[in-house]
Structure 1
Amino acid sequence: MKRKNNNNRRNQSVHSPKISDVLSSRYEKARRWFIAQMRDNTDGTWKLFKRLLVAIVIFAILMGVFVGVSRMTSMQWDKEPTNQTIRSTSGDTSITFNNTTGQTLPRRGTYKVKEIRDVIDIVQDGTGKVQHDNIILRIPVDSNGNVISHVAGLESGIPAAVFIHGAGTGNADDSFNDVGTDLASAGFATIVMDKPRWDTWDATRDYPSSAKAYEKAIQYLRSLSYVDDDKVGIFTTSEGTWISPYVIRDDKRIAFEIMMSPMVFSPRHSLGFSVAQIFAITGANPGYQAFVQRLFSMDTAAFSITNIDFESQIPQGYDVPILVAYGAKDVLTAQVSGVQRILELAHSVNNSDVTIRTYPIGNHVLRLGDQTQAKTLYVDHYEYDFVDWAVGVSRGLEQTSSKISGSDVYQAIAVPENLSAHRPLTMYFVAIHVLMLVWLLASLLIGVYAVGKKIYYRLTHQKRRVFGFVGRYQRTLVRVSAVTYMALVLFLAGVGQLVWRVVNLIWGAAPPAPGMIYWSWYAIQTACIFVIVTWSFVAVTLLESISVRAARTKSKKAGTKKEETLTRNSTMSKNSAKLQPILASERLGIIYFNITTEALFFVLLVFAYWGLFIY
């Protein structure tokens, strides 16, 4: 019995096919099926499998191109360390000194203030352009309106200060009115001037020439008989803290500096940090947040705009007693990194006289709430604090209050100091955006012309076609154009809403729910996939039409009986087969299709540049 079973096993093993033979047979069947499916029909048309396969290949190629562009235009940014904090030693922001003068020192509101208006001419280096600059001089006066030329704690003359503007186009009349009066009411002569602008705008500000313009205002103060020449300081805010180091470096007699919301780092790194932090606070989609790296890697020097890399961290510009004031709601400044860098620069020139104050509910201009509202007040005690500090420092007194106090200094992410200019990326950015606009405009103009032509045919009762598209090309073009343009409009609307919220947040408004600036990113990404899928099948249809045309041309040339039979059985005659268009019967239709296709392609390239193909 066992012998019989063994024989059966031997017979089975002899007759059972090998695994390799089975696999080889299956492979051969699959290969033959694949070849059969890829073979064109007798009339040149494609089988369904071939259409799908070619569409998949085209889709993969297009997606690969756009994903590659998105990857290549992305910039790495290490946001570590995150959530940095400097602990304050006290919540009390008041500033006190050891008063050894034996006199009661003036404070905010001690004196009445008189305003004197004048004009000085400031000249821009290099161009020689002159700006007739309005200035407002504020001085302390007694009850009779006479200038007070002697104040407690100083042997002769009174101290003074010049106010240096932040961003914008501030004039003497609408800048520093309150703080200029505050300091004057404590016995200082103060000057607020029109911001030095000449023919520049925000991106082309001439900071070195501006420093010399403010120096001219300082000299104006020193020319006054009642001002102590060695007691003139500066009050600077935001963008002005890129200018003030040059003033201090070039004028060794500057007595002190009050820095309100200093930017400290170069414009590229300061603004890159600001925008990134604001995007995160507003709840923008991470895709929109990645704009920062691309935007602040622009090589603006290629367009003669060099301010973005302006060097403001000059150690010699920190060699005076400094008061730094930040608002905890300030979304523009890197406060931890800023404090650290100011201390580093000051200590590098052996200056340890740096006082830090942070106010818990102050915004970028140390005001309460939304700065867009009229007459927004400064945060509590700030006006007293900076005046008391200036009074004590101008008299050379020893400070007895804490150097760092107020609310804790907080910073969410690191300053992107690794961001630098990329010339090739900038040129590519300009090229695709310009080409997109050109092709979109050309497509629009042809579309308008076609509509006019269609109306003309109707009015003249001519039964002529404007585009003459074959098959479904017209409907497909309309559908894919509509989706692409809707995605573009949604993209622009999302960016616009984001910019609007950034502006409101800068001025202290509370951020609302993210809404469109979050979900629109995913909607646009979905639309992009739909567009590419549609274009893949359009490309397949075009390739198939070309294949059919080639097959019929070959059939006609060969002149065989079989090919003649194929031609007779077709739905068109020889003449119609010869004249049958692939895309459109009218030249305008072919031109419009090509231009619109290229316009939509550049729209997708722009989307890819901004990272919309990173899924």
Structure 2
Amino acid sequence: MRYRIALTTAGVVVGLGLVGAVSGPGWDPVPLTETVDVATADTTIDVGVVTDPVGTYEVATSVVDVSLTGHDVQARVAQPLGAQGPRPGVVFVHGAGTGRFEDAFVDHAHALASAGVVTLVPDKRLDTYTTRDRQYPAMANDYLRSVQLLRDLPGVDPDRVGVYGESEGGWIVPLMAADNPSVAFTVLVAAPVVPPRQQAAFAVDSYLRNIGVPDSLLRSIPRFVGMEIPGGGFEYTRFDVRPFQQRMRQPVLIGYGTGDEAMPIVQAPLQLVADLEVAGNEDWTLRYYRDANHGMRIDGELCEDFVRDLAHWVQALPHSAGAEPRVAGAEPYQRFVAGPVERPRWYAEGDLLVVSLVASFLAVATGPVVWAVRRVLRRPGTMMAEGVRAPLITLGAGCVVTFAALAVYLLTVAHLAQNYRTSVAVVQGGWFALRMLGVVTVLAGVVLVYRILDGRRRGGVPAARGTAGEWVLASTVGGAVMLLLSAAYWGVFPALV
């Protein structure tokens, strides 16, 4: 009997693993074969023009109001004290992780101002900006109001005001700059270039591989990133910035840190340069900074070489536009292409996925609810045969605990990945423990089935007693089967393919 149970359990586990593997989509990113040829490790931009270095001037800051359509935001202006003549200016465009000028670009704006560049960091407009809905064209129009405000400030040369975009700002700045002479130059730092959904999948893949997650977990990337999120929205994840990059004719400074795991640091600038060529724009400069992260920081501090080059490039324009060498800095490395993300099949899309999971949990919860009601009503007797009750409870509880453990594991792994940390005990040990929970749950289900069959062979002994018992048995088993299939979809069971 034990041999039969063990063999059947192994077969069911393998079958669930196979179901999870073939239920699609799979995940097999293509290795990147293109490279960026770096001329020299020295990022210095030398065009024979003397400019003010960082730290030359004292900096004065003030807060101004920026009027937008139907809304106002505040912005911090940083000005160099004692700087002679009209000065160049830079407006900063936020990435996805920032929204207030108190928190964003504080070091950048101060450093540039101390070199003689007037800077303006506006608050991001948050009344129309959510995780579910982001309108990049509208955001570009809002940021252009800040550009106009800076151009009108005393002491600023209106013909030398440009924009600096970082991360998500790399999708917004080209919208601002395309066919727009009021934007004198652009600085794109950690620009994704590829559509947001592709960049998200690439970033998740990079983070998870870096902390050493099991390969079977990687296949969940397109199943999560590629699906339509419950409740709709997220149309911006398909935004294509390339048509706007192909209409940018301003000088462009492109910067990446080689420690940036979130961005395709080879593929993105190659595509950006190709798009600028379509625009007939040869005024671009590309710099890579060794070990700098997504925010151009090394060990928490803003990269000094980056700030030095940025301040010099802005001040030396137009001489620094397209200065040789075009590409300099540390050698970048990108393992895989940030390619299109395949969508899950119909049964694993957004709302249907949520409905099926909720229905499954409710079905499993039928047993405890009916038991509690019977206790309150003081109904005598039991609903299940003696040998059926324990494996049924283990099956239902095991499914719930397995899913709860999966959620905790994924959140823990995400926290480790975002903080560039890893732990073999957590990443590998946690995954092994999660799979053992799944196996134990399957074992309980197999024992339950055999006990029901054995009861029937012994003269038709019913597994459930009464209508309530039959409902509890059917709903618990049905809900458990659906939860086990869902767990298989997310990779809990090992696949032999």
Mapping 1:189-204, distance limit 5 Å: 189-204=118-133
Structure 1 residue ranges (4+ consecutive) displaced by more than 6 angstroms after TM superposition: 55-59, 547-550
Structure 1 CA distance for aligned equivalents of residues 462 and 443 of structure 2: 21
Once the 2 structures are TM-superposed, how far is the Cα of residue 106 of structure 1 from its aligned partner? 2.1
Say if 2:357 is the partner of 1:436: yes
**Where does residue 391 of structure 1 map in the other structure?**
315
Once the 2 structures are TM-superposed, how far is the Cα of residue 136 of structure 1 from its aligned partner? 1.2
Question: What is the TM-score when the length of structure 2 is the normalising length?
Answer: 0.89
Distance 1:319 1:549, change over 3 A: farther
Structure 2 CA distance for aligned equivalents of residues 120 and 66 of structure 1: 56
Once the 2 structures are TM-superposed, how far is the Cα of residue 98 of structure 1 from its aligned partner? 2.5
Is the contact made by 1:88 and 1:408 (CA closer than 8 Å) also made in structure 2?
yes
Once the 2 structures are TM-superposed, how far is the Cα of residue 330 of structure 1 from its aligned partner? 0.9
Distance 1:480 1:328, change over 3 A: same
1:513 to 423, 426, 429: 423
Once the 2 structures are TM-superposed, how far is the Cα of residue 79 of structure 1 from its aligned partner? 2.2
Distance 1:193 1:179, change over 3 A: same
**Where does residue 413 of structure 2 map in the other structure?**
498
Say if 2:368 is the partner of 1:447: yes
Structure 1 CA distance for aligned equivalents of residues 29 and 293 of structure 2: 26
**Where does residue 22 of structure 2 map in the other structure?**
71
Is the contact made by 1:432 and 1:606 (CA closer than 8 Å) also made in structure 2?
no
Question: What is the TM-score when the length of structure 1 is the normalising length?
Answer: 0.73
Distance 1:246 1:590, change over 3 A: same
Say if 2:359 is the partner of 1:409: no
**Where does residue 572 of structure 1 map in the other structure?**
none
Is the contact made by 1:233 and 1:254 (CA closer than 8 Å) also made in structure 2?
yes
Once the 2 structures are TM-superposed, how far is the Cα of residue 234 of structure 1 from its aligned partner? 0.6
**Where does residue 23 of structure 1 map in the other structure?**
none
Say if 2:384 is the partner of 1:469: yes
**Amino acid aligned to 1:88:** V
Distance 1:78 1:442, change over 3 A: closer
**Where does residue 79 of structure 2 map in the other structure?**
139
Q: Secondary structure at the match of 1:95?
A: coil
**Amino acid aligned to 1:91:** A
2:233 to 294, 297, 304: 304
1:289 to 218, 227, 238: 218
Once the 2 structures are TM-superposed, how far is the Cα of residue 590 of structure 1 from its aligned partner? 2.8
> Which runs of 5 or more structure 1 residues have no equivalent in the other structure?
1-47, 124-129, 143-147, 151-156, 370-375, 506-510, 551-580
Once the 2 structures are TM-superposed, how far is the Cα of residue 198 of structure 1 from its aligned partner? 1.6
**Where does residue 590 of structure 1 map in the other structure?**
470
Is the contact made by 1:266 and 1:308 (CA closer than 8 Å) also made in structure 2?
yes
With 441-450 and 354-363 compared, the bigger mean Cα shift is at 441-450
Once the 2 structures are TM-superposed, how far is the Cα of residue 321 of structure 1 from its aligned partner? 1.2
Q: Secondary structure at the match of 2:311?
A: helix
**Where does residue 117 of structure 1 map in the other structure?**
63
1:478 to 393, 397, 421: 393
Note the aligned Cα RMSD (angstroms): 3.0
Distance 1:120 1:195, change over 3 A: same
Structure 2 CA distance for aligned equivalents of residues 289 and 353 of structure 1: 40
CA deviations over 1:528-587 (Å, ceiling 9, x no partner): 34433543443344345456667xxxxxxxxxxxxxxxxxxxxxxxxxxxxxx6123244
Once the 2 structures are TM-superposed, how far is the Cα of residue 471 of structure 1 from its aligned partner? 3.2
Structure 2 CA distance for aligned equivalents of residues 518 and 61 of structure 1: 23
Q: Secondary structure at the match of 1:515?
A: helix
**Where does residue 260 of structure 2 map in the other structure?**
330
Say if 2:317 is the partner of 1:424: no
Structure 2 CA distance for aligned equivalents of residues 547 and 334 of structure 1: 63
Once the 2 structures are TM-superposed, how far is the Cα of residue 484 of structure 1 from its aligned partner? 3.2
Say if 2:447 is the partner of 1:542: no
**Where does residue 357 of structure 1 map in the other structure?**
287
With 312-321 and 229-238 compared, the bigger mean Cα shift is at 312-321
Once the 2 structures are TM-superposed, how far is the Cα of residue 400 of structure 1 from its aligned partner? 5.4
With 407-416 and 180-189 compared, the bigger mean Cα shift is at 180-189
Structure 1 CA distance for aligned equivalents of residues 321 and 21 of structure 2: 57
Once the 2 structures are TM-superposed, how far is the Cα of residue 476 of structure 1 from its aligned partner? 1.4
**How much identity, in percent, do the aligned residues show?**
21
Once the 2 structures are TM-superposed, how far is the Cα of residue 134 of structure 1 from its aligned partner? 0.6
CA deviations over 1:174-227 (Å, ceiling 9, x no partner): 211121122222222221100122243133222111000001111112223432
CA deviations over 1:146-188 (Å, ceiling 9, x no partner): xx561xxxxxx32211100001242122211121122222222
Say if 2:297 is the partner of 1:367: yes
Once the 2 structures are TM-superposed, how far is the Cα of residue 516 of structure 1 from its aligned partner? 2.6
Once the 2 structures are TM-superposed, how far is the Cα of residue 526 of structure 1 from its aligned partner? 4.4
**Amino acid aligned to 1:296:** V
**Amino acid aligned to 1:469:** M
Structure 2 CA distance for aligned equivalents of residues 193 and 182 of structure 1: 17
Is the contact made by 1:85 and 1:408 (CA closer than 8 Å) also made in structure 2?
no
> Which runs of 5 or more structure 2 residues have no equivalent in the other structure?
none
CA deviations over 1:470-508 (Å, ceiling 9, x no partner): 130111112333443443333222211111112212xxx
Structure 1 CA distance for aligned equivalents of residues 480 and 427 of structure 2: 23
Structure 2 CA distance for aligned equivalents of residues 512 and 522 of structure 1: 16
Is the contact made by 2:27 and 2:218 (CA closer than 8 Å) also made in structure 1?
no
Distance 1:504 1:479, change over 3 A: same
Mapping 1:4-153, distance limit 5 Å: 64=15, 67-81=18-32, 85-99=35-49, 104-123=50-69, 130-142=70-82, 148=83, 150=85
Is the contact made by 1:77 and 1:416 (CA closer than 8 Å) also made in structure 2?
no
Distance 1:422 1:213, change over 3 A: same
1:208 to 133, 137, 140: 137
CA deviations over 1:66-102 (Å, ceiling 9, x no partner): 63354122324342236x6534222212222133xxx
Distance 1:112 1:501, change over 3 A: same
Once the 2 structures are TM-superposed, how far is the Cα of residue 59 of structure 1 from its aligned partner? 8.3
Structure 2 CA distance for aligned equivalents of residues 162 and 201 of structure 1: 22
**Where does residue 189 of structure 2 map in the other structure?**
260
Once the 2 structures are TM-superposed, how far is the Cα of residue 401 of structure 1 from its aligned partner? 5.0
Structure 2 CA distance for aligned equivalents of residues 283 and 406 of structure 1: 29
Aligned length: 494
